[in-house]
Amino acid sequence: MTATGPAADSPYPPKSFLLCSPEHFDVTFEINPWMTTERRPDRDKSWLEWNALVAGLRSAGATVHHFPSLPGLPDMVFPTDVGVVTGKRFVRGRFRHPERSNEAEHGAAWLLEHGYAEIPWPDDPALYVEGGDVIRFGEALLCGTGPRTSPAAAQQLSRVLGVEVVPVPIVDPRFYHLDMSFCPLDDRRALYAPGVWSEEGQRAVEKLVPEPLIISIDEALTFSANSVVVGRTVVMPACPPRIRTALEDWGFTVLVSPVDEFLKAGGGIRCMALDLDLLGRA
Ligand code: ARG
């Protein structure tokens, strides 16, 4: 656990992430179209990619905390889904698939030990929510609904966090979390693949984002939207040339940190790095 903070004169709020190391990372079940137990991750390569990602995030100015994964929970390396964290409080994730549901208590334990308070959530199986669906843009939260987060949970999030939540129904099962098709860049700009959402979702996002960088389904299939932004650095699993040019024209620095072993489980960088203050107001 360590801290490399942003420079004191940085105009951007500091970013802190929680990552989970890949001791027990594997593909032993298939809960999304990317996973096949016939294509298992390589242990050494997973460690190399994970260590490089930690180093890359720190070099961009982020603080990175980490905790170890546990046997029997091969998807723990994607802690973004264990909750929605903001202002030292969190909503515990309620996983859609039983294969992942025990991850939530381990994520919550780390957060509680580190001084985050849990926000109560009704004990209702219809209110399932995974953090990969919840993304801040400006003053609002976008919430992917359908595959992993229920529309009712999106409303409940708005109530308990006291923020506007804009639901974005996901219709393409390959992009089962919103963070696979939408990446906020700053308060005006975002990179996204509208073809993944219902028309209602497309209209809602169009209204919200003044300066979009629209990407194709093929570009999204590289996991380019599953990225995190630290200051002006976009840390990405892959970056097709057209996207790189557009980002650089806007003044961003692109840092590609390949996580190909993790893509075998259907997760990229945003899934691997839980934002410890989603709304960034603390
Ligand atoms: N295998 C994991 C799952 O299917 C991948 C998690 C991806 N997480 C994300 N935030 N997109 O749930």
pLDDT at site 2? 45
CA distance 144 to 205: 11
Instruction: Decide: 83 in ligand 1 pocket, CB within 6 A.
Output: no
d(CA 215, CA 191): 7
| Degrees to nearest 5, angle at CA 130 with 166 and 226 | 80
Cα distance between residue 213 and residue 42, in whole Å: 34
CATH topology classification for 16-275:
L-arginine/glycine Amidinotransferase; Chain A (3.75.10)
The predicted pLDDT at position 53 comes to: 98
Domain boundaries along the sequence of the chain: 16-275
pLDDT of residue 1: 43
Predicted local distance difference test score (pLDDT) of residue 80: 98
CA–centroid distance, 149 to ligand 1, in Å, is: 12
CA of 84 to the centre of ligand 1 (A): 15
Q: Of 77, 92, 96, which Cα lies nearest the Cα of 17?
A: 77
Query: How many C-beta neighbours within 10 Å does residue 60 have?
Result: 21
Q: Is 132 in the pocket of ligand 1 (CB under 6 A)?
A: yes
**148 pocket-lining for ligand 1 (C-beta < 6 Å):** no
Per-residue model confidence (pLDDT) at position 99: 98
Residue corresponding to tokens 């984002």? 209
Q: How far is CA 112 from the centre of its chain?
A: 20
Ligand 1, atom 6, lies closest to the CA of 267
pLDDT for 9 equals 52
Selection from 187, 186, 183 nearest residue 220 by Cα: 183
| Residues with catalytic roles | 177, 271
Amino acid present at 86: T
What Cα–Cα distance (Å) separates residue 40 from each residue in 20, 177, 213, 266? 18, 22, 33, 12
For residue 267, the CA-to-ligand 1 centroid distance in Å is 5
Residues 6+ apart with CB under 8 A from 277: 13, 16, 85, 86, 87
Note the pLDDT of residue 282: 40
Cα 268 to Cα 282: distance, rounded to the nearest angstrom = 26
Task: Report DSSP letters for the chain, one per residue.
Answer: ----PPPTT-SSPP-EEEEEE-TT----S--STT--TTSPPPHHHHHHHHHHHHHHHHHTT-EEEEEE--TT-TTTT-GGGGEEEETTEEEEPB-SSHHHHTHHHHHHHHHHHTTPEEPP----TT--B-GGGEEEETTEEEEEESSSS-HHHHHHHHHHHTS-EEEEEB--GGG-SGGGTEEE-SSSEEEE-GGGB-HHHHHHHHHH-SEEEE--HHHHTTTTTS-EEETTEEEES---HHHHHHHHHTTPEEEE---HHHHTTT--HHHHSEES-TT---
Locate 148 and state its tokens. 């992993």
Closest C-alpha to 19, from 67, 58, 51, 86: 67
Digitized pLDDT (tens) for each residue of the chain, 282 residues in all: 444 444 545 556 789 999 999 999 999 999 999 999 999 999 999 999 999 999 999 999 999 999 999 999 999 999 999 999 999 999 999 999 999 999 999 999 999 999 999 999 999 999 999 999 999 999 999 999 999 999 999 999 999 999 999 999 999 999 999 999 999 999 999 999 999 999 999 999 999 999 999 999 999 999 999 999 999 999 999 999 999 999 999 999 999 999 999 999 999 999 999 999 999 854
**Residue among 177, 182, 274 to mutate when testing ligand 1 (max atoms within 8 A of CB):** 177
Distance CA 117, CA 130 (A): 18
pTM of the predicted model as reported, rounded to 2 decimal places: 0.95
pLDDT of residue 281: 59
Per-residue pLDDT at 197: 98
Quote the ligand 1 centre to 260 CA distance (angstroms).
Answer: 14
Instruction: State the Cα angle at 134 between 282 and 165, rounded to 5°.
Output: 80
Is 57 a pocket residue for ligand 1 (Cβ < 6 Å)?
no
Q: Is the CB of 41 under 6 A from ligand 1?
A: no
Q: State if residue 180 touches ligand 1 by the CB under 6 angstroms criterion.
A: yes
Minimum-distance ligand 1 atom for the alpha carbon of 97: 12
Instruction: Give the closest residue (by CA) to ligand 1 atom 7.
Output: 267
CA of 185 to the centre of ligand 1 (A): 21
